[in-house]
Chains A and B, each alone.
Chain A
Amino acid sequence: MIKLHNVEKSYEVGAGRTWVLRRIDLEIKEGEFLTIMGPSGAGKSTLLAILGMLDGAWTGEYNLFEHAVHKLKNQQRVELHKRYIGFVFQQYHLLDNLTVAENLDLPLSYRDLKKSERQSTVADVLDRFQIVGKKDLYPSQLSGGQQQLVAVARAVIGNPKVLLADEPTGSLHSSHGKMIMDLLKELNRQGTTIIQVTHNDAWAAYGGRILNLLDGWIAKEDRPGA
């Protein structure tokens, strides 16, 4: 499903060059739950951004299903992103000015769907995540766990094949963290490929495979269940 070959990212700093990712070769199968770990500055979030096509300034080859992402133009990548990718962030990143329902509607509104179709999808997701009662509240009126729940709901509302989660429990109390992780596991069980970045060993263990990054290199690969 995802194949990275020799993917690299660097910045020019003065006369030299700082490497963020070095020679990444990685294959992720459909339905997999992959955890990326590593110390700060190891390149975890950058790798996630490249996988999510939010970062376009890299070299190497990236194939997503039959699409050679490295050959696509920016607008084509945006389209691909809309079709396959969902994102969950550590800081939830719900938009403060929008209600829960409007936050859920946001990704759909960028997909040129009819309003009635969007309303029906939002209603389904509100129901599925049991947040119907909160649909007219603003993010500031929700707890951290509730906000992340909405953020996950927003990430999956477009039925993405791949859900990218950048430290999804990083800002949550452990009980809320478990709820979110269980939710991700359930989504994975239903067929969504999950790629998460985390520092937490317990949450890392939800993944079937753990990738350790160090200074931009893939340092180690573990399979907890194996």
Chain B
Amino acid sequence: METLWQDLRYAARSLRKNAGFTAVAVLTLALGIGANTAIFSFVYGILLRPLPYAHPERLVVLEDYQANYGKAPSSYPEYVDWKDQKQIFEQVDTFFMSSAALTGTRQPEQVRVVQASAGLAALLGAQPFLGRSFLGDEDKPSAPRVVMLEYGFWQKQFGGDRNIIGQTLQIEANPYTVIGILPASFHFERPADVWMGLRLDESISERGLHYLTVMGRLRPGLSLAAARQEAASVEKRLQEQRKTTHGLRLTDAQTFRVGDARPSLLALLGAVGFLLLIACANVANLLLARASARQREMAVRRALGASRGRLIRQLLTESLLLSALGGALGALLAWWGVDLMTAAAAHSIARIEEVRLGGGVLLFTLFVSVATGVLFGLAPALRATQSSLGASLKAGGRSGSEGAHSRGLRSLLVVSEVALSLVLLVGAGLMIHSFTRLMRVPRGFDSSGVLSFQVSLPKARYEKAEQQRQFFQATLERLRALPGVTSVGLTSALPASGDGANGGVGVEGLAADPENLPMAEKTITGGNYFSAMRIPLRRGRYFSEKDTATSPQTAIVNEAFARRFFPNQDPIGKRLDFMWETKGMQEIVGVVADVNYHGMESQITPQIYVPYVQRPDPYATIVVRSSGDLAALPAAAREAVLAVDASQPISDVRTADAVVARSLAPRNLSVTLFALFGGLGLALVAVGIFGVISYSVSQRTREIGVRVAFGAQQRDIVNLVVGQGLRLVVAGVGVGLLASFVLTRLMAGLLYSVTPTDPVTFGGVTVLLGAIALAACYVPARRAMRVDAMVALRYE
């Protein structure tokens, strides 16, 4: 123990005395370890840490499935069917998200509501810390109106007043009694303020309406695989009973929650792993150079009785001290980086609010630091203690010169660095290329200059369709009159927002079993929605004043719908059935461009729009296009709404640009990180090549002097030095290209419209790396060029 302490003290002194070397090594390691710590904190917080619910390992999400449509949310009858499968599930509950107007407080406010079946909170293990949870039948439409409040909302809205229990809140103009406050430690998977019972009436209990998230807990001892097998037989039985092709799919709750984040996080973890290996190779190279200079010291120590094991231990102590310093600085960088990244991707990646630099992550950092210290320290330590003692001591006071073995090892490290860096750069290049492709995809709408906000009319005050129609008509008129506003419309879902409803539709002339209707996205639009969003018309017409509550019902479809259901036909004049609180058929009057409502990267699906006047709804997102400053618009919009109804709140006020940016945020973040890590890798490789060639030049000063003395021109010396570097780079690029061909296939799922072996990316990255490597070789070559033969030979 005491000798260990002595080793540590000497190591610290040795590093302090070589401040330049120490600074470069620690910084290099900090970048590698810091990047790994930051990305691992995301992987840990999002993928590895169990969901903060009771028995998370047994929680599953039950989804509707159709072979030609894929997975979809569930309908109420499906939930009821599945709830009874006691041989699979201990408990099954459901919820959907909605928003509601809270009035009677300081100012009317739109609150986020979890409408849940009575047992959902218990299923997730959330016990109110104040009051009680829902009773068994409190989710029925006839039950007394009661709510539970989320902790944050209770604090914000009621200042943590414990007497709120038993008080009445006006929600959607109905009185609701507060029965409980959920604990601060409970984080539901969607941001919410208020929990209320499901209260499903018949109008939204149809089998064709898919909007419920259904969660269940598997029976104890039943694995997911066994549950899926069991579910397959249940599915078959139900399909026969209900005469339907709709099936059931089980996904573990964590995978469901994390969704698309998993592959990109794992790819990023791979990228930072490569970055760390490059950093290790760089530091190992520095240590090898230092080991050559320390041959004499090692020889003296051995002459004084140190065993090789003892010397290796001492050198590894230095490496570990370096990696510990690198790890500490890396943790600081990661702490800052995680803050930056969570802010950049707030709300756009599932569980991002749970990402932090906690104990588990720091344990990982410690492990990485120790592993790194051994990884980059072992080879130089073995090398340093291997040289011939007699030769080292006889070399006098001069620094030892490098042996062929060391040179080979250093060259191998550079080749590895170049190869690793090429793989990293190809990965980054593919991500950037995908992103530029994605940016160039026609979106079918123009988000610039558009402000949007949501309005949810309380049914108690706006029970009749005509009341709803009048409110929105008056509001749109007021908004249209605002200065700078060019067009105003409303929609049930905003492009790229991820909102929207889908379900079965009828198409005239297309025979389909009522239980197996083709699926389509359904959107209700009003005012000049298509003009406000600049969604181009392809055929026919937009909705107009001709479309009234009493005129024949009309619909507009997107190009995907026209292609799918009317291939090589003119859809104008054809009829369809919207099947969402509508009666009778709608005539198609127009075809508009494809617009993606589920995020920029989702597949375009068939879509139907119907006019608001013919299908009123208490809920709408209003879009306002203005040629003026959007910053002044929210206040004016709020006033316009209050002028129509003084107790009507608005919510989710944001620009359409912000909605698009949010849908792109996860990819934006991963592209930025890939580019950052690729750039760092490139910089480290440049430093690595520069270091090796510089060191080689310093070792070859005498040789260069002799060459110059015998007539070598400056060009010959440059060729000699650059040639040495480029041979390593070419070898590294070769290995890197081979590795990239294999590894980038793992990234296929992350790419958009780019193949994993995209020749443009591979070629571009190779040229970039080659150019940087050439520059890194040329700088020491210029120094070699200036070697004075006489000075060099005299020095030696």
**Chain A residues packing against B (C-beta within 8 Å):** 45-46, 49, 52, 54-55, 75, 78, 81-82, 87, 89-91, 93, 95, 97-98, 106-107, 109-112, 115, 154, 158, 166
Contact between chains at B396 and A91 (CB < 8 Å)? yes
Contact between chains at B2 and A115 (CB < 8 Å)? yes
Given contacts A78-B305, A95-B297, A111-B305, are A46 and B390 in contact (CB under 8 A)?
yes
- For the complex, what is the distance from the CA of A122 to the CA of B672, rounded to whole Å? 60
Contact between chains at B390 and A110 (CB < 8 Å)? no
Contact between chains at A78 and B307 (CB < 8 Å)? yes
Shortest CB-to-CB span from B405 to chain A, Å, is 16
The answer to the question of B143 belonging to the interface, with a C-beta cut-off of 8 Å to chain A, is no
> Quick one: which of B2, B301, B389, B393 contacts A106, CB cutoff 8 A?
B301
Contact between chains at B10 and A98 (CB < 8 Å)? yes
Contact between chains at B305 and A97 (CB < 8 Å)? no
> Quick one: which of B10, B14, B296, B307 contacts A93, CB cutoff 8 A?
B296
Residues in B with CB closer than 8 Å to A106 are 301, 304
- For the complex, what is the distance from the CA of A49 to the CA of B2, rounded to whole Å? 31
The answer to the question of B700 belonging to the interface, with a C-beta cut-off of 8 Å to chain A, is no
Given contacts A54-B389, A115-B2, are A87 and B304 in contact (CB under 8 A)?
yes
Contact between chains at B303 and A52 (CB < 8 Å)? yes
Shortest CB-to-CB span from B295 to chain A, Å, is 11
Residues in A with CB closer than 8 Å to B2 are 115
Contact between chains at A89 and B393 (CB < 8 Å)? yes
Shortest CB-to-CB span from B7 to chain A, Å, is 9
| Contact-residue size bin, chain B (C-beta under 8 Å from the other chain) | 20 to 34
Contact between chains at B310 and A95 (CB < 8 Å)? no
Total number of residue pairs linking A and B with CB closer than 8 Å: 61
Interface centre among A49, A98, A111, A158, by most B CB within 10 Å? Answer: A49
Residues in B with CB closer than 8 Å to A95 are 297, 300-301
Given contacts A55-B390, A109-B3, A109-B6, are A93 and B300 in contact (CB under 8 A)?
yes
Residues in B with CB closer than 8 Å to A81 are 305
Contact between chains at A97 and B13 (CB < 8 Å)? yes
Residues in A with CB closer than 8 Å to B584 are none
Question: Shortest 5 CB-CB distances between A and B: which pairs?
Answer: A110-B305, A82-B305, A49-B390, A107-B304, A54-B389
Residues in B with CB closer than 8 Å to A82 are 305
Residues in A with CB closer than 8 Å to B305 are 78, 81-82, 107, 110-111, 158
Shortest CB-to-CB span from B729 to chain A, Å, is 33
In the complex, residue of chain B having the shortest beta-carbon distance to the beta carbon of A115? B2
The answer to the question of B302 belonging to the interface, with a C-beta cut-off of 8 Å to chain A, is yes
Residues in A with CB closer than 8 Å to B397 are 91
Residues in B with CB closer than 8 Å to A91 are 393, 396-397
Shortest CB-to-CB span from B695 to chain A, Å, is 21
Shortest CB-to-CB span from A53 to chain B, Å, is 10
In the complex, residue of chain B having the shortest beta-carbon distance to the beta carbon of A105? B6
Shortest CB-to-CB span from A181 to chain B, Å, is 21
Interface centre among A49, A82, A106, A109, by most B CB within 10 Å? Answer: A109
Contact between chains at B304 and A54 (CB < 8 Å)? no
The answer to the question of B394 belonging to the interface, with a C-beta cut-off of 8 Å to chain A, is yes
Contact between chains at B303 and A54 (CB < 8 Å)? yes
Q: List 24 A-B contacts (CB under 8 A).
A: A46-B390, A52-B303, A54-B302, A55-B388, A55-B390, A78-B307, A81-B305, A82-B305, A87-B304, A91-B393, A91-B397, A93-B296, A95-B297, A95-B300, A97-B10, A97-B17, A106-B301, A106-B304, A109-B6, A110-B305, A111-B305, A112-B3, A154-B304, A158-B305
The answer to the question of B306 belonging to the interface, with a C-beta cut-off of 8 Å to chain A, is yes
Shortest CB-to-CB span from A51 to chain B, Å, is 11
Given contacts A97-B17, A109-B6, are A87 and B303 in contact (CB under 8 A)?
yes
